[in-house]
Amino acid sequence: MNWKQYQNELIALAAFVIMLFAYSYKHAKVTAHMEDSKAVEASIEEIKEVVALKKVWADKNINQKVEALHTLVPSSKLKWSKTGKKLTANYVKLSANELNKLITKILNLPVGISILEVNKIDATYKVELKCKW
C-alpha cells in the first residue's frame, strides 16, 4: 500500500482524533470545575448557616425567652423546675389553643430539646419538656 497516496486523508484523520481528545479533555475539565464551584457554594452556605446559628445561640436573653414559657399558661397547669441552663417543665390540662401557643413558642426558642412529649388525655393535653441551652 502506498502511504503517499493517502497522506492528506491520514493527516486529516489524525487531526480529527486529536480534536476529539481535546474536546473530551476540555469537557472533563469544565465539568470538574463546575462540580468544584458547586461544592464551594455549598460550603459557603453551610458557613453562613453556622454563623447565623452562633449569633442565635450567643444571645444573652435566652433565659428571659425561656422564662416566657412560665407565663404562657396559668401556674395551676404548670410544674416548673429550672436549674442553671436546664429546664424541666410539665404542663397538664392544656386546651388545644394553649398547646398550639406553647409548642410554637418552644420550637422558636434557641434551646436544645432533649424531651418533648405531648399526650392527649380526653379533650386536654399533657406536655413534658426538658431542654438546655
CA-CA distance, 133 to 127, in Å (whole number)?
A: 19
CA-CA distance, 78 to 57, in Å (whole number)?
A: 26
C-alpha closest to that of 69 among 129, 6, 4, 9: 129
What is the rounded average pLDDT for all residues in the chain? 93
Encode pLDDT of 14-72 as tens digits.
999 999 999 999 999 999 999 999 999 999 999 999 998 888 888 788 888 888 888 88
pLDDT at position 1 is 63
pLDDT at position 54 is 87
Set of cell numbers at residue 118: 405531648
